Structure 1
Amino acid sequence: MALLVATVVIIAIMGAVGFYALRSAAFITPHESAPAYDPDEALAFVWSEIPGDLRERLGHEAVGLILAIELEYMKQAGAVVNGKQKRPPAEGLVIGAPETVDFIIEQASERGVDVSPDDVHAIIEAEAEYLMAIGAIGETA
């Protein structure tokens, strides 16, 4: 009789633990990875968003170069980090600020691409739309 009672108690405990585990699992949401910036995807998005005259004047390669320069600036400023870096992201960095635009214009010029501040702002604004679309900035970031 004691064996029967022990068996029933063990089964009841295992059932309660199993029920609790299944109930808890229903409330666990899968881990969502951080949004990943894909340079090719960003370029395609930006290219489709900037004005046609800017596309014609600069060309696809130059727009990609400007995005690459801006990304490099962000990395140097500490605003872009990956999972391996331990430093915190930069605080107070304003994309589109005069120093950012000047850096992009200077670096582009050194590579033979002439752009105006308006060109850079149009590209950065389109890139910001891409970043919002992937959830890297905005309310969900």
Structure 2
Amino acid sequence: MFLDNGNWGKTQYLLEKGMDVAVTRRNVIADNIANADTPHFKRSEVSFEAELKRVLDSEKAVAANAVPAKTTHERHIPFFRSRDFREVDGRTHIDYLSTMRNDGNNVDPEHEVNMAVKTQMQYQAMATQINGNFRMLNIVLRTV
């Protein structure tokens, strides 16, 4: 079906995945805020955007043949391997390296609240975009 193979399907998939990651990120932020006074608690964060950018850039490089590399034997390690954008998922990382207070806790409640607001705004923007895409699709299907 055209929705799965074209840019529309890819856009919808990435918006939905972004919303899933935003929900995960919001839960992680809520956990960080709830444990702001817990001694030795280390904050967690969700990474997604940087890995997605890396994968999308690798797709562009393959499409443009930007990395012409040849192996001379089948057992050689390939120089470059592109990844599918569907493989990218949000990953939760724990920040063991920093400390905000003497008790070992590294949660900054002000920063966490700011990140929660930013995450909520991103979620709303993605939901609005998905709704707009489906409205446009509905208009197209009505005119056919």
TM-score w.r.t. the length of structure 1 is 0.26
Greater gyration radius: 1
TM-score, structure 2 length as denominator?
A: 0.25
Q: Point out the structure with the larger helix share.
A: 1
**Structure whose residues are more often strand by fraction:** 2
Q: Which has the higher contact order (CA 8 A, sep 6+)?
A: 2
